[in-house]
Amino acid sequence: MNFAIQFVREAYFELKKSSWLTRREATDSTRVVVLLVVVLSLYIAGVDFLLHMIMGSILGG
């Protein structure tokens, strides 16, 4: 039990030393991540479609 209390105290102390993102920084980071996911998804979908067309023409489908 004593170990758990000490762990919580130390974790709280470490969290107080952390620097947190501002709302603006978090929003900007989220936008970048969403944009990259969309761009990479479109790229992968395009490559998949292209390979599907190539394999279809090779296999006569």
Question: What confidence score (pLDDT) does residue 35 get?
Answer: 98
Two tokens, residue 19: 């620097």
- Taking the C-alpha atoms of residue 55 and residue 17, their distance in angstroms, rounded to an integer, is 56
Q: Which residue has the tokens 């996911």?
A: 37
Give pLDDT tens digits for 6-54: 999 999 999 989 998 999 999 999 999 999 999 999 999 999 999 999 9
- pLDDT level of residue 2 (50, 70, 90 thresholds): confident
User: Encoding tokens for residue 41?
Assistant: 């998804």
Q: What pLDDT shows up at residue 61?
A: 64
